């Protein structure tokens, strides 16, 4: 049996997994407290630090990204959080904080827009909060928040921690953890890392660890301090998803071979530009429009308004018949938009093919 050509599954998560990665996942199990596991974790330390642009420890959890979102909430918020909400995932962050018993002040912007630095500055001056939650690349709208500028604003407010969901930005567009002095930044395996779902990765600042020590409601399974202690000894916290650890180690190797995370950013930037150029040309002529404005577009997911009178769901169904998988809109944008997930191991050439296919199914 020949494998179908790679690159036609453009969902904004889970993303298509390269056959080389799938192969290493068939390896036999190893004891999770033995020297082989220590070596496996150790082999990933340097590549993962490079990926996060950090000198700090990268923690790996056997849960989906939402698990580390809850870790951010339980271990980073003392009492009241300012939640920046520009779509469904920002709303989820706020909802988890509420579910964990915190006071949540939501700063909402219309779908497709992002909270801007002056708005954040204003809000922080008026309100007494101890943390800010932010989704860098809002996968539901394709909007990319101006992370460096927003981080600089938060840093003006002393003890306020910045908790960053970088689930569809990290490994696909710049996230400079140490330079921006982010307090907690996390991602999941099944987005720009192009692994199967099931792992979360995160980095905590010294400030975040110090805050966590003062919080009694951290729980046990997602306790940041337990993770930090375990990974200091190159150990997972509990029985980890061993097969996914193999997959992550292989992806670390592949990313280094590709030329490191910088090369990955460049490739993602090219995929985003391919969609922009198409919308400025033939796609725009058909009636496709970007939801977010120029300069606020995610490098990993493009959310496009479909032509007047057309249904996004129908277009996605027609693409499926041609052998391509695209994302429908999310939540309230379900039928008025489509989403192209151009992240992970995808290439600008395949994205161009996908766009040509969209032209044929639209006309």
Site residues, ligand PLP (CB under 6 A): 13, 64-66, 89, 135, 139, 165, 167-168, 188, 191, 197
CA separation, residue 56 to residues 45, 50, 204 (Å): 10, 10, 8
DSSP, residue by residue, 128-174: --SEEEEESEETTTTEE--HHHHHHHHHTSTT-EEEEE-TTTTTTS-
Spatial contact of 346 and 7, defined as CB atoms under 8 Å apart: yes
Q: How far is the CB of 331 from ligand PLP (least distance, A)?
A: 13
Query: For residues 13 and 226, what is the distance between their CA atoms, to the nearest angstrom?
Result: 29
Residue with tokens 């709208």: 141
Q: How far is the CB of 241 from ligand PLP (least distance, A)?
A: 13
Closer CB to ligand PLP, 54 or 139, in the complex: 139
Closer CB to ligand PLP, 40 or 72, in the complex: 72
Closer CB to ligand PLP, 65 or 226, in the complex: 65
Closer CB to ligand PLP, 168 or 177, in the complex: 168
Q: How far is the CB of 189 from ligand PLP (least distance, A)?
A: 8
Provide the 8-state DSSP code for 331. Answer: G
Q: How far is the CB of 13 from ligand PLP (least distance, A)?
A: 5
Q: How far is the CB of 268 from ligand PLP (least distance, A)?
A: 15
For β-strands 325-328 and 9-10, DSSP reports them as: parallel
In the chain, % helix, strand, coil (3-state, to 5) comes to 45, 15, 40
Spatial contact of 12 and 328, defined as CB atoms under 8 Å apart: no
Q: How far is the CB of 36 from ligand PLP (least distance, A)?
A: 27
Closer CB to ligand PLP, 37 or 302, in the complex: 302
CA separation, residue 211 to residues 55, 147, 176, 324 (Å): 20, 22, 22, 46
Give every CB contact of residue 266 below 8 A, 6+ residues apart in sequence.
Answer: none
Closer CB to ligand PLP, 64 or 362, in the complex: 64
Q: How far is the CB of 92 from ligand PLP (least distance, A)?
A: 7
Closer CB to ligand PLP, 43 or 64, in the complex: 64
Closer CB to ligand PLP, 37 or 237, in the complex: 237
Half-sphere exposure for 204 (CA within 13 Å, toward CB): 26
Q: How far is the CB of 284 from ligand PLP (least distance, A)?
A: 26
CB-neighbour burial class of residue 105 (10 A; exposed 0-12, middle 13-18, buried 19+): middle
């Amino acid at each position: 049996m020949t494998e179908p050509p790679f690159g036609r599954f453009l969902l904004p998560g889970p993303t298509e997994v390269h056959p080389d990665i799938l192969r290493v996942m068939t390896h036999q199990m190893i004891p999770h407290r033995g020297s082989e596991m220590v070596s496996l974790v150790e082999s990933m330390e340097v590549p993962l630090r490079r990926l996060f642009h950090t000198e700090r420890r990268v923690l790996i959890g056997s849960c989906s990204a939402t698990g580390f979102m809850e870790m951010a909430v339980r271990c980073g918020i003392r009492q009241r959080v300012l939640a920046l909400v520009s779509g469904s995932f920002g709303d989820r962050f706020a909802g988890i904080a509420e579910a964990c018993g915190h006071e949540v002040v939501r700063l909402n912007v219309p779908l497709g827009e992002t909270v801007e630095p002056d708005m954040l500055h204003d809000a922080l001056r008026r309100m007494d909060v101890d943390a800010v939650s932010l989704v860098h690349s809002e996968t539901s709208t394709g909007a990319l928040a101006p992370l460096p500028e927003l981080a600089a604003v938060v840093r003006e407010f002393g003890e306020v921690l910045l908790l960053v969901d970088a689930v569809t930005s990290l490994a696909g567009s710049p996230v400079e953890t140490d330079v921006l002095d982010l307090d907690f930044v996390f991602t999941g395996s099944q987005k720009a890392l192009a692994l199967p779902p099931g792992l979360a990765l995160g980095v905590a600042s010294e400030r975040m660890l110090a805050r966590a020590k003062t919080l009694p409601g951290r729980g046990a399974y997602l306790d940041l301090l337990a993770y930090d202690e375990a990974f200091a000894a190159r150990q997972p916290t509990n029985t980890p998803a061993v097969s996914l650890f193999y997959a992550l180690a292989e992806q670390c190797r592949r990313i280094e071979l590709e030329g490191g995370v910088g090369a990955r950013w460049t490739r993602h930037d090219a995929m985003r530009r391919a969609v922009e150029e198409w919308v400025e040309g033939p796609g725009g002529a058909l009636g496709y429009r970007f939801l977010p404005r120029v300069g606020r577009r995610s490098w990993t997911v493009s959310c496009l308004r479909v032509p007047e009178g057309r249904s996004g769901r129908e277009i996605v169904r027609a693409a499926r018949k041609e052998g391509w998988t695209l994302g429908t809109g999310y939540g309230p944008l379900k039928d008025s938009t489509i989403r192209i997930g151009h992240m992970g191991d995808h290439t600008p050439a395949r994205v161009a093919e996908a766009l040509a296919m969209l032209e044929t199914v639209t006309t």
